[in-house]
Amino acid sequence: MQQYDPHFIEEKWQKIWDKNDIDLMQPDNEKPPYYVLEMFPYPSGDVHMGHVRNYSIGDVISRYKRMQGFNVLHPIGWDSFGLPAENAAIKQNSSPQKWTYENIDKQRASLRRLGFSYDWSRVVITSDADYYQWGQWIFLKFWEMGLVERRSSPVNWCPDCNTVLANEQVLGNDGHCWRCKTIVEKRELEQWYFNITSYADELLEDLDELKGWPERVKQMQANWIGKSTGANVVFTLCDENGNATDETITVFTTRPDTLFGCSFFLLAPEHPLALRLSKGTEYEAAVNTVRLSVEKASSVEREMTERDKNGAFTGRYVINPVSNQAVPIWVSDYVLMEYGTGAVMAVPSGDQRDFEFAKKYGLPIPPVVVSKDDPLLAELANQTDTRLLDVPWDEAYTGSGFMVQSGEFTGLAGGKDSEGSSAVINWLSERGLGSASVNFRLRDWLISRQRYWGNPIPAVHCKHCGIVPLPYEDLPVILPLDLDVTAGESLADHKEFCEVNCPLCRQPARRETDTMDTFTCSSWYYLRYVDAHNKSLPFDGDTADKWLPVDQYIGGIEHAILHLLYSRFFTKALRDAGLLGSTGARSLLQLGEPFKNLLTQGMVKLDGETMSKSKGNVVPPEDMIARYGADTLRVYILFMAPPDKDLEWSQEGLEGIWRFLNRAWRSVYDLLGECVVDSENNVLSIYDQDLTSADADLRGQDLNRDIHRVIGKAKDDIERFNLNTAIAAIMELLNSVSAYIKLPRELRNEELCRRAAEALTLLLAPMAPHIAEELWCVVLQNERKGSVHAQAWPAHDPSQAQATMVELAVQVNGKVRARITVAQDANEAEVRTEAQAAVATLLDNAEPRKIIVVGGKLVNIVV
């Protein structure tokens, strides 16, 4: 008998698989396509346990699906543009590309060493020109579609990374940079945007279609998109007596039903009107103070003073369009310039913030929507004019109720999206004073970065023509590699790169030197894999529509908003792109959603912290592979926890998996009748000589049953991603085998032995591919049937997974008091009689009130 030598067999089979192309997707295959994808790695160093987990899960799915008869596409690549490469280059006095490609080589070697079944013919590396040029192509396509804009607005600036960030890249309460954790600043800058907001509604609506996504992720995206329904209401500027001017200000509100309760009006301090209205008046100084305090405050300071609302009166008024009263205009720091119109109708009785502000500055708080349980309702039931000024409440009432003091609307149901709201909206619409409206929290995606190691934005600044997109023929814009970042050089210092002629007027012009956010690269890589070597398009539409959506996408929850939202946007935009542009008759893509099923794998932590290169708490898999081999490590990390749960890394238990694989190895030999020995030739096969052929029959039945049961359970578990319990089930089968091989050889059923050995091997194949292959091809001598990974998943017969005799628990009043063994198909009357007999002494002749029989499980006798 050969000893289990993981290093020898793992290296041997990796070479053979590679030579035979067993992991490549077969384009012409008739089998149904299945696309399984793990989020591609960032080459920040060598792989760590988080990667091992992510890619082990994906590998099990891909191998399992292959055994289920699918033509599987399982590709890999690298998300290799980005700031860490630049920082590392500066630190190591090297270059970003050297660092990046060395890391890719290291990671590739590690992934190969782990035996993942990737289609290595389709590798996508985002910093390769033959990939990123298509990112530029898509940029131009988006430009054609009106999805690209360059504009000036307040942006997030990371002082450490020296670049702007998208809203999605600013995290936490304190507003820190997603990459370096530095607190970001606000700056007013001209930047490039993708108009993701034009897809806001669709991005939200289509979440409902994503049945295979975790609820949590959909919730997070819905939160982020933040849709509010309500109305725009037009207010007219007036003097303090209510004499109208011809100037209007529009506000957005989710509560048009409370419009009668609007007793003052608010502008964001940065609002241009705020300054203008108070200019040259006695109020100017106070308004300015509020404005300056907001401008200076960083997000941290804003956090600290969060609930403390400050404001100032502007000296001017607007007319409340329904009550015709003049209400004062204030500025306040709690009104955000970025949301809605930067102006708010304040209804202090119906909004807690307005309530606090009104209390602080002594402004009126008339009730307009009153709870049905509030005594105030009876008092005001028929009150149509605004009479009572301050509500007797301690806080605003934001729930639903009935409208009071609201003219003709008095008595209607009030609340969010209520009857009263619709009535007020209709009334306003008829008079041109407002309309139903929707607002989103989602902002456009700021995609330009003032960094070198990224995809150049294909545009030119021309003195005569303005900002000009490059024509498609001028692509690619190659990122120059002869730049010395260690000397502080940036793209703007690279003369040959910057000096170009304007594509329109042919005059000398300057090339755009910002690069695109790395997230633009990762927003469509899954499309490139299906047609990775296409030289004329980013991908072929027919091929993409055949393979996509990705059947199973696997990655970390940290991308719930960032990457997963951007990718959905790209897919939708690309779907709409072909219909407009120069790609010909066919739409580029039919598909609207890229990922059909999503598994968000939990993070691998060390001492409660996520493992990552930047935190320096990475556990490399090398030592463990060196000691136990890749199979042991793979099975271990899958066995530790269900895939979607976070996991605290610990090496305790790794040894147990090593023992498990060794035991499986020896058991297969034993099942084949070989004498099992250890490395020092001590005989390990121990047969129990006292066993009879009757024992052999019973154990044979047990083993046969477990073969069928475990094949079924492992299948169900893998399909539900309960990979830990799938492994536990295989361990149970092995335990059953161990019991059987206690039988002396002459008592064993040879056919059963072979069936058990093959089942064990096939079930192990997705998780521990190398040992399974060696057992299959060499030990079981099945080489002529081909690789274990080309076999069909073993069949099972559920009827044979049932025991003929089953043990039932007998409960009296819900407590287990006895056990009986009955035939699996015993009828209920028999079971009742036997159960009662078993607990007769306890029942003490009392007549049972009720007997519940749960098939195959228990009997409960209620007395």
Site for RNA in 705-724 (CB under 7 A): 722, 724
Is the separation of the CB atoms in 141 and 471 below 8 Å? no
Q: Does 663 bind RNA (CB under 7 A)?
A: yes
Of the pair 345, 404, the CB lying nearest RNA is at 345
We find the least distance from the C-beta atom of residue 12 to RNA, in angstroms, to be 23
Burial classification of residue 375, based on how many CB atoms lie within 10 Å of its CB (0-12 exposed, 13-18 middle, 19 or more buried):
exposed
Of the pair 37, 808, the CB lying nearest RNA is at 808
Q: Does 857 bind RNA (CB under 7 A)?
A: yes
Bridge partners (DSSP) of residue 71 are: 33
Q: Does 805 bind RNA (CB under 7 A)?
A: no
Scanning residues 439 to 478, which ones bind RNA (CB under 7 A)? 439, 441
Q: At what angle do helices 96-113 and 83-92 cross, to 10 degrees?
A: 110
Chain-centre distance for alpha carbon 550: 14
Scanning residues 250 to 279, which ones bind RNA (CB under 7 A)? 251-255, 268
We find the least distance from the C-beta atom of residue 269 to RNA, in angstroms, to be 11
Q: Does 653 bind RNA (CB under 7 A)?
A: yes
Of the pair 134, 660, the CB lying nearest RNA is at 660
Of the pair 353, 359, the CB lying nearest RNA is at 353
We find the least distance from the C-beta atom of residue 64 to RNA, in angstroms, to be 18
x-marked contacts with RNA along 330-369 as a string, rule CB under 7 A: ---xxxx-xxx-x-xx-x---x-x----------------
Q: Which of 41, 43, 230, 541 binds RNA (CB under 7 A)?
A: 230
We find the least distance from the C-beta atom of residue 262 to RNA, in angstroms, to be 9
**Span from 60-68, 190-198, 420-428, 729-737 in contact with RNA (CB under 7 A):** 729-737
Q: Which of 319, 640, 759, 788 binds RNA (CB under 7 A)?
A: 640
Of the pair 414, 541, the CB lying nearest RNA is at 414
Q: Which of 30, 188, 208, 680 binds RNA (CB under 7 A)?
A: 680
Q: Which of 489, 505, 819, 827 binds RNA (CB under 7 A)?
A: 819
We find the least distance from the C-beta atom of residue 49 to RNA, in angstroms, to be 13
Task: Name the token pair of 1.
Answer: 């008998």
Q: Which of 91, 387, 431, 815 binds RNA (CB under 7 A)?
A: 815
Scanning residues 529 to 548, which ones bind RNA (CB under 7 A)? none
Residue 441 DSSP symbol: S
Q: Which of 561, 767, 820, 831 binds RNA (CB under 7 A)?
A: 561
DSSP annotation string for 234-287: EEEEE-TT--EEEEEEEEEES-GGGGGG--EEEE-TT-HHHHHHHTTSTTHHHH
How far apart are the C-alpha atoms of 695 and 741, rounded to whole Å?
12
Task: Name the token pair of 102.
Answer: 């060395």
DSSP annotation string for 766-835: TTSHHHHHHIIIIIS--GGG--GGGSPPPP--GGGGS-SEEEEEEEETTEEEEEEEEETT--HHHHHHHH
Chain-centre distance for alpha carbon 690: 58
Of the pair 150, 186, the CB lying nearest RNA is at 186
3-state secondary structure 621-655: CHHHHHHHCHHHHHHHHHHHCCCCCCEECCCCCHH
Phi, psi torsion values for 575, nearest 5 degrees: -60, -40
Q: Does 811 bind RNA (CB under 7 A)?
A: yes
Q: How many CB atoms lie within 10 A of CB 16?
A: 13
Bridge partners (DSSP) of residue 856 are: none
For 241: left if phi > 0, alpha if psi spans -120 to 50, otherwise beta; the answer is alpha
Is the separation of the CB atoms in 714 and 732 below 8 Å? no
Scanning residues 422 to 441, which ones bind RNA (CB under 7 A)? 439, 441
What is the rounded radius of gyration, in angstroms, for the C-alpha atoms of the chain? 35
How far apart are the C-alpha atoms of 368 and 398, rounded to whole Å?
11
We find the least distance from the C-beta atom of residue 216 to RNA, in angstroms, to be 4
Of the pair 652, 746, the CB lying nearest RNA is at 652
We find the least distance from the C-beta atom of residue 360 to RNA, in angstroms, to be 11
We find the least distance from the C-beta atom of residue 327 to RNA, in angstroms, to be 14
Of the pair 405, 736, the CB lying nearest RNA is at 736
Q: Which of 459, 731, 737, 747 binds RNA (CB under 7 A)?
A: 731
We find the least distance from the C-beta atom of residue 552 to RNA, in angstroms, to be 19
Coil, strand or helix at 661: helix
Q: Does 146 bind RNA (CB under 7 A)?
A: no
Scanning residues 74 to 103, which ones bind RNA (CB under 7 A)? none
Q: Give the amino acid at 394.
A: D
Q: Does 234 bind RNA (CB under 7 A)?
A: no
**Span from 273-281, 315-323, 646-654, 789-797 in contact with RNA (CB under 7 A):** 646-654
Of the pair 800, 821, the CB lying nearest RNA is at 821
We find the least distance from the C-beta atom of residue 364 to RNA, in angstroms, to be 17
x-marked contacts with RNA along 196-215 as a string, rule CB under 7 A: -------------------x
We find the least distance from the C-beta atom of residue 761 to RNA, in angstroms, to be 17
For 624: left if phi > 0, alpha if psi spans -120 to 50, otherwise beta; the answer is alpha
Is the separation of the CB atoms in 762 and 793 below 8 Å? yes
Q: Does 736 bind RNA (CB under 7 A)?
A: no
We find the least distance from the C-beta atom of residue 853 to RNA, in angstroms, to be 9
For 242: left if phi > 0, alpha if psi spans -120 to 50, otherwise beta; the answer is left
Of the pair 93, 682, the CB lying nearest RNA is at 682
We find the least distance from the C-beta atom of residue 167 to RNA, in angstroms, to be 8
Scanning residues 362 to 421, which ones bind RNA (CB under 7 A)? none
Q: Does 684 bind RNA (CB under 7 A)?
A: yes
The site for RNA, by CB under 7 A, has a size of 89
HSE value, Cβ hemisphere, 13 Å, CA-based, for 775: 31
x-marked contacts with RNA along 760-799 as a string, rule CB under 7 A: ----------------------------------------
Task: Name the token pair of 135.
Answer: 């990112």
Of the pair 511, 796, the CB lying nearest RNA is at 796
We find the least distance from the C-beta atom of residue 142 to RNA, in angstroms, to be 25
Bridge partners (DSSP) of residue 550 are: 595
Of the pair 724, 782, the CB lying nearest RNA is at 724
Task: Name the token pair of 524.
Answer: 């469509």
Burial classification of residue 498, based on how many CB atoms lie within 10 Å of its CB (0-12 exposed, 13-18 middle, 19 or more buried):
middle
**Span from 60-68, 195-203, 592-600, 854-862 in contact with RNA (CB under 7 A):** 854-862
Q: Which of 430, 652, 690, 844 binds RNA (CB under 7 A)?
A: 652
Of the pair 129, 842, the CB lying nearest RNA is at 842
3-state secondary structure 465-493: CEEEECCHHHCCCCCCCCCCHHHCCCHHH
* Lookup result for tokens 């990922």: 595
Interacting residues of 613 by C-beta distance below 8 A, sequence separation 6+ = 44, 45, 48, 84
Scanning residues 155 to 194, which ones bind RNA (CB under 7 A)? 171-173
Scanning residues 276 to 305, which ones bind RNA (CB under 7 A)? 302, 305
CA dihedral 792, 798, 799, 805 (to 10 degrees): 120
Is the separation of the CB atoms in 75 and 62 below 8 Å? no
**Span from 94-102, 238-246, 541-549, 732-740 in contact with RNA (CB under 7 A):** 732-740
